Structure formats: structure tokens, C-alpha cells
Amino acid sequence: MGKYWYDNDELTKRINRDVSLESLTEAQDEDGKEMGMEVLHFLIRNQKNHKKRKIQVIRQKDLDCQDLLGQVLRDYQDGINHLKKDFRKDDGKKFVRSRAIGQMKQDMIYSKDALDGVFGYRNAAKESTIPNLSVIDLKNPAHVKVLLPMNIEFDPNNDLSFIFLDLEELIQHLNDDEKLVVDMLRDERQINEIAQALDITYKACQYKIRKICGKIANF
């Protein structure tokens, strides 16, 4: 899956999606956990050099265009439809198919942007306070739950990148089914969509995500 910078609004939207602040701060009476959540949200709101947000979607009229863009998008869509048709096959390749679908959807957007005009960049507001990254705790399932859906491009000049590097190493210890859930979260799928793909109930999917966060925190 392609990795890219989210802008401030998109990052905030991602953490708030399907995650209630009340549930995330259930353990706020324990030392450091409430502060950790505040720092997480501060970091997400104030990351610098995010890719400028552009509401870009692939519409039917794009697929119907009789130009180069339409041809490229139709080829991608044919591939996605084929993968979706085989998605429920019990052959151990769901994770691979999900990653391929996510990559192809992103490539469709990149293709449209490349032919219609590239993104610009938004300058994030400068902050005089440097947050203390040490309060971000990958042993805290609530922190893991906030970080898990994010795809952050590695930047050696950004200390937060090293936290995500550690998180990626922990994710590699998950089994393929659990990695599939993480991948779908990062593909911006809603919990109900993930539940449908896995053929489980909404509540069972919520429980599965909580269990994954707890498992990562206990590695």
C-alpha cells in the first residue's frame, strides 16, 4: 500500500473515527496515561509537512472517460473487481488481496492527480512547545488503538517516525488474519465494512480490534 502524509484535518478525522475519547481515556486515573493521550492528539494535530488535503474520489464519469485517464482507471477497476470476486475464498490469501485492492485504489487516485494536476503542500502552524514523545506508550492499548490506523511515511527528521517503526515491528508478530484487520483499518475502511469482509458482526469486529491492540501492547 502506498504511504503518504495526511493533512491535519484528515489525521484528526482518522483518530476520531470509530474511537470514542471516553473509551480511550478509561484509564486516565493511572499515572501518565491521560497525558499520553493528550500528547498523541497534539502530535496528530500539529504534524508538519503533511500532504495538502484534496477531496479526491473516482467517479463513474471518470471511468467512462474516453481518454488516457479513463482507460487507466478502467484497467485498475477491472483488477479490483476481480480481486473482490475472489475475496471470500478460503485460500489464505485474503491479506494479499486486501493489500492489492488498497494499493490499486490509491494508485487510481494518484493517476487522476497526475493527469489532472498534482497536490500542493500545506504549511502546518508552528508550535512553540515541543511535545514529550516519551509519554507515548506502545504498552498502552489505548495508544496503540489511536496509532494503528495510520500510515506514516518514515522521516528520519521526525522522532514520531521511530515510534511508528517500533509499532510496525510489533505488527509483524501478528497472525495473517490480524494483519488483515490492521491493513483494512489503514485502508480507511469503516468497522462495518471490515466486519462484512470478515463475515462477522459489528460488535465482534470491535472486539477483534480491541484484542489486536491488547496483543500488540503485550508483545
Query: DSSP per residue over 28-83, as a string?
Result: TTSTTHHHHHHHHHHHHHH-SSPBPP------HHHHH-SSHHHHHHHHHHHHHHHH
C-alpha–C-alpha distance, residues 185 and 191, integer Å: 8
Q: Is residue 180's pLDDT more than 60?
A: yes
Domains of the chain, by residue range, sit at: 8-50+130-218, 60-116
More confident residue, 122 or 205: 205
The model's pLDDT over 48-102, given as tens digits with 9 standing for 90+, comes to 334 444 567 888 998 998 888 888 899 999 988 888 887 777 777 777 777 788 7
pLDDT of residue 213: 95
Q: Is residue 179's pLDDT more than 90?
A: yes
pLDDT of residue 5: 44
Q: Global pTM? A: 0.49
Coil, helix or strand at residue 160: helix
More confident residue, 163 or 125: 163
The model's pLDDT over 87-131, given as tens digits with 9 standing for 90+, comes to 777 777 777 777 788 788 888 888 888 877 654 434 343 444 445
Average pLDDT, the chain: 73
* Residue 164 identity (one-letter amino acid): F
Which set of grid coordinates corresponds to residue 182?
A: 490492521
What is the pLDDT averaged over residues 21-45?
49
